[in-house]
Amino acid sequence: MNYCGIKFVGITNIKGDIMDIIIYCSMFAYGICFGSFFNVLVYRIPLILNGSKITTFNESSKCPKCSSKIKFYFNIPVFGWFFLMGKCYDCKSKIAFKYPLFEFLWGVAFIGLYFMTNNVLRSIFYFLLIFLLITLVHVIFNYKQLKNKKS
């Protein structure tokens, strides 16, 4: 039975439902991790292209104001920002809301793609494709903005 998109199922289908919930939760978890990676890429690639000192992607995230390293448990996508209440743990300067927002949206995007395709592999394929495209657009946009600021 399907009512307004909410499934009402008998006992026999509960196993399938739990499987669905596990898949949706893990898709969201992967999605927000990719979102976190997205934030790193669109922030660091334009800086590197503009000749900044940052040369690697594996160095841990730092506060742009006070350069203190962000501890791993505050670096959890989406939730870390809320643990910190949107402020740097050390200098209390504000951390933009766009970071957890983008992470959350990527999580939702992954769930949405799975919902539409109903196929794990296909949703991963579409997700990666969309991820590459949107990351590229953001990198180019941020790069141009940085360049305009410089000149």
Residues that bind Zn ion (CB under 5 A): 63, 65-66, 88, 90-91
SS3 73: helix
Q: At closest approach, how far in Å is the CB of 100 from Zn ion?
A: 17
How far is the C-alpha of 71 from the C-alpha of 89, rounded, in Å?
9
Helix axis angle for 14-49 and 98-117, nearest 10°, is 130
Q: At closest approach, how far in Å is the CB of 102 from Zn ion?
A: 20
The residue (of 16 and 64) whose beta carbon lies closer to Zn ion is 64
Q: At closest approach, how far in Å is the CB of 91 from Zn ion?
A: 3
The residue (of 88 and 105) whose beta carbon lies closer to Zn ion is 88
The residue (of 15 and 71) whose beta carbon lies closer to Zn ion is 71
**What residues form DSSP beta bridges with 69?**
62
Distance of CA 58 to the CA centre of its chain: 16
